[in-house]
Structure formats: structure tokens, C-alpha cells
Structure 1
Amino acid sequence: MNNVTVYTTNTCPYCTMIKNFLDGKNIPYKEVNVEESPEMMMELMQKTGQMGVPQTEINGQWVVGYDPNSIMAALR
């Protein structure tokens, strides 16, 4: 079973695209909205050094931005 977490904001179009992509592939994921949890944004920056969203953690691997190919590779 894959462990997938998507870090998003309310205004990010790529966040919506990544959620639609995962939904379309029937891949379950947990969403963490960093706008609603600023402390999660700090945690994210410490883990990846990146401020942008979406960031997707898949089984401990990070994919930054909307990158379906990297997401599918990390899921294998």
C-alpha cells in the first residue's frame, strides 16, 4: 500500500490538477492544506527546502510540482 500525502494551498491550480490526477488513477492520498496549517509549511520547508506547492510525498520520496511521471515512478 502506498503512503501518499499532497501538500496544497487553496489558490494553487496545480494542486487541483494533482488531486484530479490521483483521483483519476484511484490512488488514495491525504491532503495537507498548508494555508490552513502554517506550521506544516515550516515542516515542509525543513524537509524539502522548497516553498512551492504542490509537493507530494510518496513512501518517503518527494515530488515537487505537478509531475505525473515522477509520481507514477515513485508509486512503482
Structure 2
Amino acid sequence: MSVTIYTTTRCPYCVMLKNFLSEKGIIFNEVNVEKDPAQMQKLINTTGQMGVPQTEINGEWIIGFDPNSIMATLRK
């Protein structure tokens, strides 16, 4: 299973997402789009959304901090 989260440095929802995943023991990769503008452009091109956090789980995208959708997607 592959979990990647796209974040920025000052986003409170990004911190909440990282804490949630850590508490659940879910291993994730973090991409800070502030530090990598090319990844921000990839995100916009892929999802059409500029906001963070965004989570990619095995090719499925979850926009924002949405624990229920994250857990449902992980169970698939």
C-alpha cells in the first residue's frame, strides 16, 4: 500500500492529518509542495485542486483532512 500526503509548512490541517496517520500506525510519504513547486504543479494538474492536504492512496485521491474517507480507502 502506498500513502502519500501533500502538505505545506503552515497548514494546520496538514499537521492534523500527519498526527492522525501516525496515531493509526499508517506509514506515509510526505511531499511538502512549498519546498517543491514542481510537485504543486503536478498536484494541480492531477486533482484540479490547489489546497492541501491532499492524500493519494494507491492512486485514489482524498482532498482535505477527511479521516473517514482515508480509512475507507485504506480498507479497499
Q: With structure 1 as the length reference, what TM-score do the two structures score?
A: 0.97
Structure 1: runs of 5+ lacking an equivalent: none
What is the match of residue 19 of structure 2? 20
Matched, 1:69 2:60: no
Cα deviation code 1:6-39 (max 9, x no counterpart): 0000010000000000000000000000000011
2:45 is paired with a residue of what secondary structure?
Answer: helix
CA positional deviation for 1:43: 0.3
- Runs (4+) of structure 1 moved beyond 6 Å? none
What is the match of residue 5 of structure 1? 4
Identity %: 64
Matched, 1:50 2:49: yes
Structure 2: runs of 5+ lacking an equivalent: none
1:56 is paired with a residue of what secondary structure?
Answer: strand
Q: CA RMSD in A?
A: 0.4
Distance in 2 between residues matched to 1:45 and 1:16, nearest whole Å: 21
2:41 is paired with a residue of what secondary structure?
Answer: helix
Distance in 2 between residues matched to 1:71 and 1:61, nearest whole Å: 10
Cα deviation code 1:21-75 (max 9, x no counterpart): 0000000000000000011000000000000000000010000000000000110
